Amino acid sequence: MAKKVVGIHLVCRQRLRVEELGNGKFKSGHWKIAESSANTAQYLALHESKNQPSYKQGIIEKWERSSERPDRIIFYVKATDEQKEWVGGGTGEKGYLWSDE
């Protein structure tokens, strides 16, 4: 069985384009993420840098394409309190937690 993305970690400095929606929910800025990853991801974690725990994280409820940038995705998230450590290799602004399957 193929592995799938279950968590997305993003470097999002100074809460860029993060919008509080009330009732413990927030909307991320727009990100260049593959639809296949957005479809399987269960959580999103936003970090100031890779070496700091997330400052905002939660369960992904849905996502949509950005009207400003159709090649990018906006996530709608139910916030959780537990900070997450960075996951994922590479040098970019994105990190993925993959399933073990």
pLDDT, tens digit, 9 for 90 and up, residues 72-84: 999 999 999 999 9
Residue of 32, 29, 10, 8 whose CA lies nearest to 19: 29
Residue 7 pLDDT exceeds 90: yes
pLDDT of amino acid 100: 79
Give the domain range for residue 91.
Answer: 5-98
Contact 79, 26 (CB under 8 A): yes
**For the chain, first and last CA: distance in Å?**
6
How many independent structural domains does the chain possess? 1
Q: What is the spatial distance between Cα 40 and Cα 60, in angstroms, rounded to a whole number?
A: 10
Q: What is the mean pLDDT of residues 27-55?
A: 95
pLDDT of amino acid 101: 66
More confident residue, 16 or 19: 19
